[in-house]
Amino acid sequence: MASSPARPNSPGSHLLPSPVQELMYGHLHASALRAAVVHGIPDLLADGPRTVEELAERSGTRTGPLHRVLRLLAARGLFQEKNGTFALADAGRSLCTDAPGSQRAAVLLFTDEMFHRAATNIPGTLRTAEPGFEAAHGRPFFAYLAATPDKHRLFDAAMTSRAGAADEDIAASYPFPSSGTVVDVGGGQGGLLRAVLTRFPELRGTLYDRPGTVAGHLLDTEELRGRWSVQGGDFFTSVPGGGDLYLLKNVLHDWSDEDCLRILGTVREAVRPGTRLLVVEAVLPDDGTPHPALELDIVMLMLLEGRERTAAEFDSLLGRSGFRLDRVLPAPAASSLIEAEAV
């Protein structure tokens, strides 16, 4: 099949694909990335370069197809090819299982067939405004996870791995109180709470999320002994009371405005006036400026009824729920720290 003409970059340079080609072939790059991770190629290269023949033998793959996939991924900056061998590029090191902030689980999650099937329904979503995931799988996203334990475990692992480095940075960049209790609502397996409690040794913390999620929490360390508790429950119904600071990290973007008002309302019922709430979310510019969270906004479109929001939209949600937005601070990666106070 003939490809469309590539546009020249400059005399003597490689030909670069057009923006249309970049998007049109995007699923091929994702599938090649998944194949390399599934077969453990990054882990095989963690200690240094190897020939394609050696990689194929150790991974149980065929030399020719493997070379072609790695060649494509090398062109995307994940591997380096030289003298018949492949090595990890700096950008590819996060694909290793034991790498700090490993993205291996995230790659396996976001290239999984459950997401591919949901994405193919985006044309229908434009007509109906219904999430493509439910149309593809016959049930809402979180209900699907609850019914498929292997996917649920992958989801939890991916969320934890993606958050690792950012959690440390958030703990270092926000003036958390030196004492009292932090309640992390919808806090997953507790990565952010662990980072905060580690950095502030006089603080105590409560992790609150679905029972199946908090069962795999990360708080049971010697350094945090006696300073944490874990509760399973539904934040649409109730959240633990008595906290001095409440966290909502990457929770609100999963939900519609109506559901966000329910979540924030439940938090407001549990807290005293003056209690601080820290919402960690991407904040989109309101002038159309490109932002790293635009892709995540489309993920929300195809999976759930949530969305990424602007500062004005967060201000509206918080104000309607009994909170006052005080300030928005920059945070690591694509997130911001939205500080509010119960009124």
pLDDT in tens, 18-69: 899 889 999 999 999 999 999 999 999 999 999 999 999 999 999 999 999 9
300-316 confidence digits (pLDDT tens)? 999 999 999 999 999 99
Domain boundaries, the chain: 18-98, 126-342
d(CA 235, CA 256): 15
Q: Answer yes or no: are the C-beta atoms of 226 and 204 closer than 8 Å.
A: no
Q: How confident is the model at residue 331, as a pLDDT?
A: 84
205-215 confidence digits (pLDDT tens)? 999 999 988 99
Q: Answer yes or no: are the C-beta atoms of 321 and 268 closer than 8 Å.
A: yes
Using a pLDDT cut of 70, give the percent of the chain over it: 95
Average pLDDT, the chain: 92
**One CATH from 3.30.160.270, 1.10.10.10, 1.20.1640.10, 3.30.200.20 for 18-98:** 1.10.10.10
Q: How confident is the model at residue 15, as a pLDDT?
A: 67
Q: Which of 39, 67, 217, 253 is catalytic?
A: 253
d(CA 64, CA 83): 16
* CA angle 333–42–120, rounded 5-degree value: 65
Q: Retrieve residue 115's tokens.
A: 């997401």
Q: Which CB contacts under 8 angstroms, 24+ apart, belong to 255-263?
A: 255/304, 255/305, 255/306, 256/305, 256/306, 257/317, 259/305, 260/317, 261/317, 261/320, 261/321, 262/236, 263/185, 263/186, 263/235, 263/236
- Stretch 237-258: mean pLDDT, rounded? 96
Q: Which fold has domain 126-342?
A: Rossmann fold (3.40.50)
Asked if residue 120 has pLDDT above 80, the reply is yes
Establish whether 253 is a catalytic residue.
Answer: yes
Using a pLDDT cut of 90, give the percent of the chain over it: 83
Q: How confident is the model at residue 3, as a pLDDT?
A: 46
Asked if residue 233 has pLDDT above 90, the reply is yes
* CA angle 143–232–334, rounded 5-degree value: 70
Q: How confident is the model at residue 163, as a pLDDT?
A: 74
pTM of the predicted model over 0.75: yes
Helix (H, G, I), strand (E, B) or coil at 204: strand
The two counts, helices (H) then strands (E), for the chain are 16, 14
* Residue 278, beta-bridge partner list: 247, 339
Nearest Cα to Cα of residue 93 among 28, 163, 45? 45
Asked if residue 221 has pLDDT above 90, the reply is yes
